[in-house]
Structure 1
C-alpha cells in the first residue's frame, strides 16, 4: 500500500522532499557557473571589458588616483580583478570566470528564495529559469561587476528574509544585531561594487512594509541601511563629480524595449514568454490575497505586538515584484534629472525576474491541475522546457565571436600578427568613441602587435589619470620624429558596414606614405598597408 499523500501523488514531488534546500542551491549554483563559463572565451573582449583589463593591470599606486577621476563606481571590482589576474592571467576565460562564479552564487540565492514557501519543486524550477535567463548568462560571461551585484543583491535578500520572516526572528538578540551589522556591511560593499545597487534598499523596505514587518524589524533595517548609505557618501560624491563620463547616456532613448525587453531578457520572444509568466505570477498572488472570500493571506508564525496587525507571509512573488520593479523604477526616475541609466545597470534585479517567471510556471501548473485535471508537474515542466527552448538561441548567440558589441579585436590582433614584420608601425583610427577605438585591440590582445611600433602613443594608459592611452596627432608625432626611419605603416580603421572612417589616411599620405593596395578586412575593422 502506498504511503504517498494525495498531494504528492498528484504533483509528483515526493522524491524532492528529502532533498535539503542547501543541496539544491549548491547544485544549481554549480550548474549556473558551468553554463556561464562554457564558451566564455569565444567572444572578443569589448570596450567595457577593456576598461576592466587595463584598470586591473595598473599598479595600485596609479589605479587609486585614476578612480578619483573616472570609474569610481567600479573601483572595488577593479581592485579585486587586480589581484585575480595576477593569479589566473589575462585570457578572456580567466577575466570572465569570476563573473561565472558570481552568477552561480546568484542562482543559489534564487533557489533558496523560491524554496522558502514553495518547497523543493519551486526551488528547482527557479534554479533552471535562473540558469538560462539571458541577462544572467550574459553577465556571467562578461568581465564587469554586474554579475557580482546580482549575487550580492540575492544574498542580501536571503539575509533580510531570514531576519524578518525566518529563523532569525527567534535568534538571540546578539545574533540578530550581528546579522543586521552584516546586512549593513553587505549593502555598503555591494554598492561599492556598483553604486546603483544601493537601490535594492527600496525593494527591501517595500517588502517589509507590504508584509507588515514588526516595528523592531523596521527600526533595525532603517539603522542598518542608514549606516550603509552613510558609508557610501564618499563614493556618491565621486560619482556625482564624474557624471560627465556617462553623459552620453542622455542621448539614448528610454522606450518600451529599454523598459521591458533589454534589462533582463535581451530578446523579444524571451521577453514575451517571461512577461506572460510574470503576469501569471502576479495574478495568482493577487487572487490568493484578495480573490477568495474567507481565505485571507496566510500570516507568518511571528506574533504581532499589541496594537500591530499580524505580519503576512513573505512570498517569492512579493519579493520578486518589489525587487524587479522598484529599484529599476527608482533609477529611471533619477534618470529624468541626471542621465545615468542603461539596461545592463539593472542586472542586479535579474534574479527577481527568474523568481517571478518560475512562480508563473508553477501557477500555470496549478491552474491546469484544477481546471483540467492534468498533473501540475507535467504542465509546469512543459512550460519550463518551452522557456529553456526560447532562451537557448539567445545563449548561443551570446557566445559568438562578435557577440560583445560587435567587437572583433581578437581577429584584428591575429591579422596583425600574421601580416606585420619587425620594423613596421601601426596607426589607429582615433575618431570613434573611446570604447570602440581599434587601439584597444592592442591593449586587450597584445600578442599580435609585438612586432610593430606605435609612433602616435603619447602616454600609455597606466601612467594616465584616465583608463585609456593618450595619443599625439599624426602631424605632431611626425614633428617629434616618431615616423623617421619608418617605411611601412599599418593603418587600422573602423569599417562598420563598409563605411571606412579613413581617419589618419590623409595625414600619412602627407608624410609620403602611399597605399599599396593591400588591405585585410576583419568583422568591423580594416587593416590598410602603406609604404614609402
Structure 2
C-alpha cells in the first residue's frame, strides 16, 4: 500500500472494514469521465440559459467591461493605482474582448465556462473519494445551487476563482494518495492562480490544512503540502504588496458582518455538520466509500474561509459572500454524498414508495429552485441596471445638457456607453478615468463644481434611489445645495437601482 494513501489516515477500526478507495475509484472507458461530463454539461446549459439577463448589466460588471476595453498601457496604469486585486481578471477579459467583442455574452462567458469547469472538479473529487454516483450527484448539486448560477452569469472573477480552488482541491486529493511530485506541482500552481485571481482564495489553504489535520496524514505529506502552500503564498507577495496600499480606498464601502449574515453562515455551517453526521454515523460508515475522507475535506472548505473572513472583518471590514464563493463546492460534496447514500438505501422501500419518494423530491426541488433560477436571470437580481439607466438618460437628456453624478462613483452607470456620456457636459469631472488612472475619474474642487452648475440651464442628475445614505463629502454637498437653491425639479425617472432627475433654472420648467 502506498504510504501516503488516505486510507491509512482513518482510525484503526475503520481501516479494518473499509474498501480501499482505489478499488472504488478506478475504472475504464466512458464511465470514468461520466461523473465530470454530466455536471459540466448541466452547468454550461444553465449558464447559457438567459446569459444576457434581459439585456441588463449592473455596475460591478460595468467596471469589468469598461476597464477591459482600455488599452494595455491605461490598464497597467490603473492597476498600479487601484483594483490590483482584480488585475489578472481584467487582463484576461482584455484578451477576450480583443478576440471577440461580443458584448454581454463575451463579458459573462468566461464565468459560465469556469462554472462548468468547477462543476466537473466537484464531481471529480466526489468520484475519487466516494464513488461515481456520489461524484455525479455532487457536481449536479453544485451546478444547481442558486449562488452558483448567480455567479455563472456574472462578469467578475468569482466563478474563475471557484474553478481554480476546486481543481486545486482535487489535485490535493490526488497528491495525498500518490508519491508523484506532479500532483503537488499542479496543486501549488492552481492555488496560486486562484489567489492571483482574488487574494481571498488564500483561505482555502487554511481549510486544506485543517483537512490534513483531521486525516492525520504522515509527516511526508505535511512537508510536501507545506512546500506547495509556501510556494503559492510567496508567488502572491507582489500582488499583496501592491493591493495592500489600495485597500483603504477600495474597500471603504464594506461594513462589518450583520446579524443576518451571521445567521445565514450559521445555518449553512449547521447544515454541513448535520450532513457530515449523516454520512459518517453507524458501524458501517467506513464501507461507504471514503465518507470520512470526503467530510474531512468538504466541511472545512465550506465553513473555514467564510468564517475566517467574517471574523477578520471585525478588525478590517472585508466580508462579502462572493469573495468565498468557492466554499459552495464543500456544500455540494456533502449534499451529493448524502444523496448517493440515500439512493443506495432505496432498496429498503417498497417499489411504490420508491417512485413516490422520487416524485416528491423532484417536485420539491423544482418548486424551490425554479423561482430562484428565474430571479437570477432577471435585472432585479442585481443592485442596479446600467443598461436601463443609459436608455433612460438617452430618452431624457438633450444634447449639451449638464450631467451630475450624485455621488461621483455613479459615473460608472454611463462609462460603458461613452456614446451617451459624450453627448453631455460632465460638470464635475476633472480627469477622465483613463487619464487619472482610476475607475470613475476624478472630480473638480467643490467651488469649481458650483461655478459650473450655475453656468447651466438644464442638468441631468443621476443618483441612488430614495432612502440611501448621502455622502458627506464637500463635493457631494455642494451639488445638492446648489441644485436645491437655484434649480427646480422638472421630471424624474426611476429605473432599477437609480433615479434620473431633470433640473432646470427656477421658473423655467415647461412640464
TM range, smaller chain: 0.7 to 0.9
- Distance change (3 Å), C-alpha of 1:92 and 1:197: same
Residues 378/390 of structure 1: CA separation in 2 closer, same or farther (3 Å cut): same
Give me the whole-angstrom Cα distance separating, in 1, the residues matched to 2:468 and 2:239: 43
Name the residue aligned to 1:496: 466
- Distance apart, 1:409 and its partner CA: 2.4
Q: State the distance in 1 between where 2:337 and 2:117 align.
A: 20
Please report the TM-score for the alignment, with normalisation by the length of structure 2: 0.81
Deviation at 1:41, TM superposition (A): 1.7
Deviation for aligned residue 1:362? 3.1
8 Å CA contact 2:111–2:151 kept in 1: the answer is yes
Which residue does the alignment assign to 2:39?
28
Contact 2:192 2:236 in 1 (8 A): yes
Match of 1:398 in 2: 376
| Structure 1 counterpart of 2:502 | 528
Which residue in 2 is equivalent to 1:251?
255
Work out whether residues 188 and 231 of structure 2, in 8 Å CA contact, stay in contact via their aligned partners in 1.
Answer: yes
**1:180: how far off?**
1.9
Q: Does 1:408 align with 2:385?
A: yes
Q: Encode CA deviations 1:453-480: one digit per residue, 9 max, x unaligned.
A: 323321111122332211225751464x
Task: Decide whether the 8 Å contact of 1:488 with 1:529 is kept in 2.
Answer: yes
Question: Is the 8 Å Cα contact of residues 129 and 294 (structure 2) preserved in structure 1?
Answer: yes
Report the secondary structure of 1:143's partner residue. Answer: coil
Decide whether the 8 Å contact of 2:195 with 2:236 is kept in 1. Answer: yes
Check if 1:283 corresponds to 2:277.
Answer: yes
2:278 and 2:399 map into 1 onto residues whose CA distance is 69
Aligned counterparts of 1:17 and 1:124: Cα–Cα separation in 2: 16
1:408–1:525 contact (8 Å) kept in structure 2:
no
Structure 1 unaligned runs (5+)?
1-15, 170-175, 264-270, 301-311
Which deviations, in whole Å up to 9, do the C-alpha atoms of 1:185-226 show, x marking residues without a partner? 221121010001011112222223323333322221111111
How far has the Cα of 1:154 moved from its partner? 0.9
TM-score where L is the length of structure 1: 0.78
- The structure-2 alpha-carbon separation of the partners of 1:21 and 1:282, relative to structure 1 and needing over 3 Å to count, comes to same
Number of residues paired by the alignment?
473
Q: Is the 8 A contact 1:365 1:375 kept in 2?
A: no
The alpha-carbon distance between structure 1 residues 200 and 506, as it changes in their structure 2 partners (threshold 3 A), is closer
Q: Is the Cα–Cα contact under 8 Å of residues 215 and 293 in structure 2 kept in the other structure?
A: no
The alignment partner of 1:251 has SS state of coil
**SS of equivalent residue, structure 1 residue 528:** strand
Q: Contact 1:413–1:447 at 8 Å: present in 2 too? A: no
Cα pair 2:35 2:135 within 8 Å, conserved = yes
Deviation of the 1:184 alpha carbon: 1.4
Question: Please, which runs of 5 or more residues in structure 2 have no aligned partner?
Answer: 1-26
Q: 1:155, CA displacement in angstroms?
A: 0.7
| Cα 1:162/1:384, change in 2 over 3 Å | farther
Per the alignment, residue 128 of structure 2 pairs with 116
RMSD over aligned Cα atoms? 3.4
SS in 1 for 2:491: strand
Per-residue deviation at 1:250?
6.2
